[in-house]
Structure 1
Amino acid sequence: MAEDDPDTDSGNGQLFALTRDKVLLLVILLVGIAGSGIVRRSLGELGYNALGELVFVLGYGGMVFAVWYGWIRPMDISGPN
């Protein structure tokens, strides 16, 4: 009976459970890294190399800021009192 109780789950498998936060993080990483890189290359091939570099820097930097602001900043990283 205790095996079916969700409150007594030992947490095994929760690391890889697909949650809304994890999906959002994956999308932000995908768009920030791959998306901005693809756009940068496409603009470079069209002759807009400087604009492509700007798009990549803003996309990658925006991704780093979003991950920091949404996931790293709210963490309570303090030592024992």
Structure 2
Amino acid sequence: MLRGVDLNLEQGAFTCLIGPNGAGKSTLLRTVCGLLKPRGGRILFRGKDIGGQRPDLLFRAGIAHVPQGRSTFPQMNVWENVV
């Protein structure tokens, strides 16, 4: 369970989410990307509440989750690697 999370991300910024095992990092990212449904609170993206939206709709809006350990292709850009 996550409590008191307030996160503002700027477009194009490089942001790191760090914390010990079990702190909720993966849970937070999965919830933002629609892989988990929030039990409460709001997730705002460009002023719109996206909490509980389907992952495919969030992906089309530009929100995606790349799990740890997934290999990337250096000759491709970020979008191509995620797709």
TM range (shorter): under 0.3
Length-normalised TM-score, structure 1: 0.23
| Higher-RCO chain (CA-CA 8 Å, sequence separation at least 6) | 1
Please state which structure has a larger fraction of its residues in helix: 1
Length-normalised TM-score, structure 2: 0.23
Query: Which is higher, the Rg of structure 1 or of structure 2?
Result: 1
Please state which structure has a larger fraction of its residues in strand: 2
